[in-house]
Structure 1
Amino acid sequence: MKILIIGDGKVGYSLAENLSKEDNDVTIIDKNAEALKKAEENLDVMCIKGNGISVNTLLEAGVDDTDLLIAVTASDELNMVCCLTGKKLGAARTIARIRDHEYASELALLKERIGLDMVINPEQAAADEIARIFRYPSAISVDSFSRRKVDMVEVKITSDTPAVGLKLKDLPSKVAGSILICAVVRNDEVFIPNGDFRIENDDILCIIGKPSNVYGFYKYLGKCTQKIKNVMMVGGGRIAYYLANLLKEMDIRVKVIESDRERCEELSELLPDTLIIHGDGTEEDLLKSENIGEMGGFIAITGRDEDNLMSSLLAKQYGVQTVVTKITRMNYSSILKTLHLDNIVSPKHITADIILRYVRSLKNARGSKIESLHRIINGQAEIVEFIANDSTSYLNIPLKDIKFARDTLIAVIVRKNEIIIPHGNDVIKKDDRVIIVTKNKAVLDLNQLASTGGLQNELQNSLKNIGHTPVV
């Protein structure tokens, strides 16, 4: 696909990096020569210095035969104008980053009048991600699929976990029979496990299934602690606004610490039921005076990674149950491992994942539609949700009779309101939502997963993975 990205900030660069890796023809427009130089030196993309709303610049970039224009500058209004201009000049589809909450009630009208095919709000998406984490307080990450009918939770195994030393097939069927352990991380290596895989201390398990069943297994692992009632946030930006509203719906009381007095006054008006405190959230004395040790959750979401790391470490020191840290520059990943900060949220990566899913769906419009895509285990694997249709080549064929690609697992089939953890005799039917786990990061279609022909996979026949047939 020919893709034009306007804006070479953190999100624009991340998008260009990911989209160019998937054989898309990517062009970036930005007025900042230094930002373009970095992209030009490190990425396989074309860079054009100029204004994204300039007709001449857009025509130079080939907007008239562009498949997708993505506007991710720092200005919502500029993004909308870029998309409107690009559409008039021939761009087939447009995506705008619109972050201001004041536009939220007008998005439907904006999309219709401006011709936007998609609107992305990184802060809203990050707030949604953090809210999901608080449903499973000690989880590393939580993702939802099939309109929240299926949850996927990453959890770290500790020495006191009852599952340590057990093979997957030997886990108690009462709690494990209706979920699937779809991936395991051990010493930075990712495994798609079968029933003989033995759980060890420090493993990270990826558990997927119906939310109530996942919660039951999570409880068996001893990870369900007392419900969180109070949360402290450091940073009063857009994420804080969206997140405070979401946590209120979960009956969680929120306290926000913000260093900018003017922003504190704004938040006091926007969030009348939330306690807003003016101060520096990295100061230990302030955190102690606000009873940080009594908080069930702590969320560091300022605009500075260093402040977020510092305040998160203080929260951990004071025994806060669930700590969430926003990180913009993921080149800190090696440091984060040593700090044991488990819940890391990156708005730019969340945004890139959402747009990448959309691009994959466009590239494969005639095949099985990609409904959602989530990267797991620090991007080492992906969970992709497809909708099977008439083009799916192995409809109504038992899974045991299909030879699947290596390191690929059909984890869940959602059939209307039924959640199926599939066995070898289960089949995929038209309109099923099929959730797969794969280490192959360029899966665009269900048909890429397998070829039919009566070849039986030995692991599929074994039925050892908690009553499920893993496809590896």
Structure 2
Amino acid sequence: MHIIIVGCGKVGRTLAEQLQEEEIDLTLIDTVEKTINDVTEDIDAMGIVGNGASINTLMEAGISTADILIAVTASDELNLLCCLIAQKTGSCQTIARVRNPIYSQEIGFIKEKLGISMIINPEYAAAQEISRLLRFPAAIKIDPFSRGKVELLKFKVLPEFHLDGMSISRITEKFRCDILFCAVENKDALTIPGGDYIIHDGDFVSIIATPQNTALFFKKIGFRTNQVKNALIIGGGTISYYLAKTLIDTRIHVKIIEKDPNRCEFLSDLLPDATIINGDGTDRALLLEEGLETAESFVTLTNFDEENIFLSLFAKKSSNAKVVAKVNRLPYTDVIDDLDLGSVIYPKYITSDSILRYVRAMQNTIGSNVETLYHILDSQAEALEFAVHDHSPVTGVPLSELKLKKNLLICCLTRNGSVRIPRGHDTVEVGDHVIVATTHKGLRNICDILEK
């Protein structure tokens, strides 16, 4: 498969890094020569300096034989133009990043009339992820599957849960909740665990279940599950707008602190039900004055990772708020994890996961599609949802008899709208949606879960 990426900023580079692991022929286009040189030093891809909306540049990149063009420049309009010209020049699928809220109500129209295969809005997707966390503050991360019927939820094991030293089978037996422990990570290792795995305080555990069963489990171990009633947001950018709009719709009171007075006026017009404060969100006195100590949630969405991290640490020290921080750069994820910031959102990963899901669905060779894909455990593992359309070596065989790859777990089966945590006697059937967690990268169809 040949993929062309136009725009090698943060998102474009992250995409290129992850797509090169998929054994894909990559061509990268950017107008800045230094950017192309820097990226192609680290990534096995052909680099072209030029305008991705130029027919000559696209022809040089091989648009006539390309399978997908992905436009992720800083300009929405340029991204759409690149896709439109690519369709007229070649016969490839096209994916565009479109971020401006002006277009958010017109995405369906744009896709249909311009014939674009997929439109990605990283800011809107990040806002949706944050809103899920504020509706369920117990979680560090929540990834939805099967259109929200199932959730993969990550949390930290605290001493007050009294789970330390208990095996997973003992925990599920004691609390009698229909959940599945699908991943455990600590400072020593990450594990796709079996029933005899021992949980310890400080472990980060990922479980999968319906939202109702997850809430029941957390209630039984004494973890807060009710959505927050208010949110203090630092930074008034695009994510803040989308987040505030979503939270207001669920009757959560929103207060935004933003430096730029013009941006404050703009937000006041768009969000009449929110409180907009013109001020410096890093000002300790201002934060305390605006109610940080009693806030139920605190979200840092400035354009500076360092500010977001520092403010999150201050909020953890000064309040009992649910803390969420946005981080754009990725080289220091191990350090960030050790800081115990709360929940950390990486918009670039949200975008790349969506596009990878689309790419793998195009690559599949039998009757199954990758419907959902998330990188989990700091991108060291993946959680995937397959839609099974045809019979295969996986279907009709009890799970206990399938020769599954090591470090792979079948987490959930959805059949005719009914969700089931699978046991050994269960089988995968045509029409099922199957959720899998694994450290193996690059699974494209349901048969890839089997040892060869």
Q: TM-score, normalised by structure 1?
A: 0.93
How many residues matched? 452
Mean CA deviation greater in 171-180 or 394-403: 171-180
Partner of 2:354: 354
**AA in 2 matched with 1:313:** L
Partner of 1:374: 374
Is the aligned partner of 1:71 residue 2:71? yes
Partner of 1:285: 285
Distance in 2 (CA, whole Å) between partners of 1:176 and 1:345 is: 32
Distance in 1 (CA, whole Å) between partners of 2:153 and 2:422 is: 19
**TM-superposed deviation, 1:391:** 4.6
Residue 370 of structure 2 contacts residue 386 of structure 2 at CA under 8 Å; is this kept in 1?
yes
- RMSD over equivalenced CA pairs, Å: 1.4
Q: SS of the counterpart of 2:378?
A: coil
Partner of 2:410: 410
Partner of 2:105: 105
Partner of 1:236: 236
Residue 175 of structure 1 contacts residue 213 of structure 1 at CA under 8 Å; is this kept in 2?
no
Distance in 2 (CA, whole Å) between partners of 1:340 and 1:29 is: 38
Q: SS of the counterpart of 2:139?
A: coil
User: 1:75-154 counterparts in 2 under 5 A?
Assistant: 75-154=75-154
**AA in 2 matched with 1:75:** S
**TM-superposed deviation, 1:225:** 5.4
Mean CA deviation greater in 188-197 or 77-86: 188-197
Distance in 1 (CA, whole Å) between partners of 2:337 and 2:388 is: 38
1:195-253 CA distance string (max 9 Å, x none): 11111111111110111001111222322155411110001111011111111232211
Distance in 2 (CA, whole Å) between partners of 1:55 and 1:270 is: 39
Q: SS of the counterpart of 1:138?
A: coil
Partner of 2:246: 246
Partner of 1:156: 156
User: 1:237-276 counterparts in 2 under 5 A?
Assistant: 237-276=237-276
Distance in 2 (CA, whole Å) between partners of 1:82 and 1:258 is: 34
Q: SS of the counterpart of 2:22?
A: coil
Q: SS of the counterpart of 2:228?
A: coil
**TM-superposed deviation, 1:88:** 0.3
1:300-334 CA distance string (max 9 Å, x none): 01111122112212211211321100000011213
**TM-superposed deviation, 1:187:** 1.9
Distance 1:255 1:82, change over 3 A: same
Q: TM-score, normalised by structure 2?
A: 0.97
Q: SS of the counterpart of 2:159?
A: coil
1:273-325 CA distance string (max 9 Å, x none): 00011111011011011111110000001111122112212211211321100
Distance in 1 (CA, whole Å) between partners of 2:219 and 2:321 is: 16
1:375-431 CA distance string (max 9 Å, x none): 111111111000112153221111112111111100000002211111111111111
Q: SS of the counterpart of 1:147?
A: helix
Is the aligned partner of 1:399 residue 2:418? no
Distance in 1 (CA, whole Å) between partners of 2:123 and 2:65 is: 31
Distance in 2 (CA, whole Å) between partners of 1:128 and 1:292 is: 23
Flag as ranges the 4+ runs of structure 1 deviating above 6 A.
none
Partner of 1:457: none
Note the residue ranges of structure 1 that are not aligned, 5 or more in a row.
453-472
1:348-388 CA distance string (max 9 Å, x none): 11101110111111111644111000111111111100011
Distance in 2 (CA, whole Å) between partners of 1:175 and 1:250 is: 31
Is the aligned partner of 1:197 residue 2:197? yes
